[in-house]
Structure 1
């Protein structure tokens, strides 16, 4: 019953969120602002190429609807005490979404995204795949802070393969 109710809430809520996000996002405004900064900072690794790609990709912004929904649901269900774990989940979800966009641009041989050259066009397809994989590894690494040690070992190994 709860899964069906949540699905109905999300189905009705998502179109509203796209139309007028500012008023609906007010309850998670501070978390979204922090998330924007943490997205880049948590992915910077000291590798000039990857750090450059991360800076480049995130300068175009984005709506951050996925993490917003996670944060809103987290607050609605768990209240303020749930926010630290829910915040990490929202961060990981945005990283996964970002990686999927980068990989999708390679598959589609896309020229631009959000008015800027795609990573596969500014650099090359192989570099874009590595960057997408690295961001996926970053999502896993973020999830390990709320998960088990086995996931952390896997995520760290995957992360090291990309650097």
Structure 2
């Protein structure tokens, strides 16, 4: 009888620890659709703060034209970006979160793709939010649009999770 109680306690403890280590995540933002981006602008979605909960961002984005993805980890950095695409001259042009932000790479003759590292794996974000996830179709960074760019259609698969605390 005593052994059953001990085994039950150990199994319950391992189940709880497993939830803390590999499971127990809650999706706070998800986008799985085509997003349209006007030339010279960016498509933006605001993401709540996930830093204190061990949260993560993961995405894959694909389009037929070059584009960039930025995760701005402060409203101030995002406002510099917004000022730039609105035609202003910001004091600086931050590049977003180093591990999440990316320039789309050409993967075939008519296809460009950007993703979090390791083919779209989850990437932790330690900076305090809120965050601003941007699919960019301007000359803000390295992916300069064509001379007469057309609207950009990007299929975006974005998931933001936070750890559920017990």
TM-score by length of 2: 0.23
Higher relative contact order (CA 8 A, sep 6+): 2
The structure with the largest strand share of the pair is: 2
Larger Rg: 2
The structure with the largest helix share of the pair is: 1
TM-score by length of 1: 0.23
